[in-house]
Each structure stands twice: as structure tokens, then as C-alpha cells.
Amino acid sequence: MTDPVVLKGTVVTPPELIPGGMVVVESGGITYVGPAISVEGEVRDFGDLLVAPGLIDIHVHGGGGHDAMAASREALEGVSTYLAAQGVTSFLATTYTAPADETLRAARAIGKTVRTGTSGARLLGLHAEGPFINPERAGAQSARDIRTPSLEEASELYDASDGTLRMMTLAPELEGAASVVGWLADRGVVPSAGHSDATYDEMMTGVEEGVRHASHLFNGMRPFHHREPGVAGAALADDRVTVELIADGVHLHPAALGLAVGLKGPRRTALVSDAISAAGLRDGVYSLGGQRVEVRGGVCTLESGALAGSTLTLNEAVRNMVELVGTPIGEAVMMASSTPPDIIGEARRGRLEPGMEADVTIFDWDFRVLLTMVGGRVVYEAA
């Protein structure tokens, strides 16, 4: 047993805020959350700053020069360390459409690293973005590596990840997608619609088959039209479906962000970064799956002008929701902390409550990260 650690500040228990509150951490878990009381232990008083649940990114390809597709523990450790400095305490390493052997190597590395652990943000598993996507909505995904939905390939990927595949983004309208969706759902893997040209009816058929999420809503999918609402319209209208938003002010207009949250609510809307390895680095020319990506002003584009992921951090996404959309702080934090683990079935993360894992991030009121704690262990502290 270790002595309790007491964190004092404005405690965020999404969506509520407790001014003058405190969180007590013991043996890696949370034992008390509420108004300040007398407790023996190490006290860290952050004044009125925000003591919040750690952020959880369920769609991130890399950052700090590290790429989940590198298929090595070193790369995943690099992503983990980079994310911890952005207030992220858990993440899904996200692959993109690539040759099957490359994806399987990445899945094996992710599965092994989940088991051995990381020193920064905790790796929860794999989010496979592709390869069963629609070429018409490939975006920055490699069109030459897109493949027809296959139960055999889905099973190989699941096994390669040692059962840590947690989400797959696919196009539900494709031939063979229905069987893959059902197979994933039966194993607790979240089937997510994305890079899809599905009509509203095709998406609703996918929902009946088990689709429960929509990746980077509005991006990489048939545009919403008042006579053909498409994937986005179906996802916004059906309470069985959760959605994710890239709140960088580039992928989505603030009005679109506000519209989505207004319809889905913060409990069914997850903020994601969709960050690539160039996140955290200077503007310049980088590579994404062998494609040339130019980063200018933090915006990532292919030579065609198509957006290619982002350099967004999740704490910036929270701040943007507050500043650009006017979302209350507690709800903005919820979308990046408690909603993502609910989507992937991580019951003990994302909230400041007794019995939860002690994953905590300390922010100032501009959402700059001062300290990140994973399982009661400080993994990042600002100098």
C-alpha cells in the first residue's frame, strides 16, 4: 500500500464542476471525489485549476514523429509518450489502409505492446481504419490497397492483434460488409462507418446489422443532403450510433460541430484527434502510407489538396469546443474523457469516481497540460 495522493483544484466530474474540490488516489485507483476534506497523505494543491479525468483518444495514428504503422514497440512507446504530454491517458493506435502484411505486422506490435504496457498514455488496443472502405471516399487512404470485405482477413487481423482489435472503420454498403460487421460485433469490436458512400438506407441497414459508430463524422463520407441524408444523417438521427468529431476548426466548421453535438449530445459524441506522425513537429513535408503530405500552418494535405489526418491534440480539441462552439467546459471534457471509453466498453476509465482507475489530467483554464497521471502514476509533468 502507498500513502494517498490528494489532488486539489476545480474538479471536473463531467459534466459537473466542483470548485474547491479534491480527488484522493490510492494504489492506482480513486477512493474519494468531492468537496475538500481532511485526508492524510501527499497533498498537491492546484488552486482553482482543472482536475479532470484523463483524455482518451480512440482515433490517433501517431504523433511526435512516431507512427502506429511502424509496427514496433519503440514507435508505440513514442506515441504513448507524446500523447501523455497532451493530457491523454489512454488511446487506440489507429492503422490506415495498407498492404495486408503491413497491417498485420502493426496489429501484432500493438497486441504485444498492450500486454507489456507503455510508459506514457496507456495503449488500449487497435482501431483499424480500413482496408474495407469505399474507393469513392478514400480521402487520404491508399486507394490501391483498398480491399473487399473479407471475414478471413478480419479474423487474421483480430488474431494478429491478440484479440486487442477494438474498432474497425469500414464502408457498410460494400458487398460482404454485413458479415464482417456481425462478426466484429459478436466479438465486442465496434463496427464504425467511415470512408463510405452509403446512402441513408444503406447506412440504416448497416446499423441493423451492428454498426454502432461513425468515424470522423461528415469527413470521408457522402455529403449530407436534405433529400439524401447519407451516413451522416443516419448517424445523427439514430440513438444507437455514436459519432466522433475532429474539432480542429479545419475538418469541420464550428456550426457543424455545434449541430452534431446538439443532435447527439455529449454522451454520444467523442472528440478525436486523427493525428498523424507529423503532429507536434514543424511544418514541412512528411509521409503517410507512402503518400507525400505537406503540413502548413498545422494543416495536413496531400498533393491533391485532400486533408490527410491532422496535427490536432485532444486538449486543443476540448478548448476549441469551448471557444469556437460555446460548449460548457464539463461537456467538452466529457466528449474527450468519459464518452470515448463508453463507446469501446472500457468501464473503469474516463471518470473521476471512486472505484475508477486514477487516470487524471491537470489543466489550466486554457487547457494547457500541467500534469498527466495514469493509474496513479505521474507520466508527464510540465517543467
Tell me the C-alpha distance between 35 and 23, whole Å: 9
For the chain, counts of helices (H) and of strands (E)? 10, 20
Tell me the C-alpha distance between 111 and 124, whole Å: 9
Tell me the C-alpha distance between 327 and 1, whole Å: 40
Asked whether the beta carbons of 270 and 287 are under 8 A apart, the reply is: no
Q: Report which DSSP code applies to 321.
A: I
Query: What is the grid cell recorded at 69?
Result: 504503422
Residue that is written with C-alpha cell 447506412 in the block? 203
Residue of 274, 283, 342, 364 with catalytic role: 274
Active site residue 274: yes
Asked whether the beta carbons of 363 and 329 are under 8 A apart, the reply is: no
Query: What is the grid cell recorded at 11?
Result: 474538479
Q: Are strands 360-363 and 369-374 parallel, antiparallel or unpaired?
A: antiparallel
Degrees to nearest 5, angle at CA 302 with 298 and 136 = 125
Task: Identify which of 105, 19, 41 has the alpha carbon closest to the alpha carbon of residue 365.
Answer: 19
Q: Is 327 helix (H, G, I), strand (E, B) or coil?
A: coil
H or E stretch at 87: none
* C-alpha distances out from residue 12 to 53, 150, 334, Å: 7, 43, 9
Active-site residues: which are they? 274
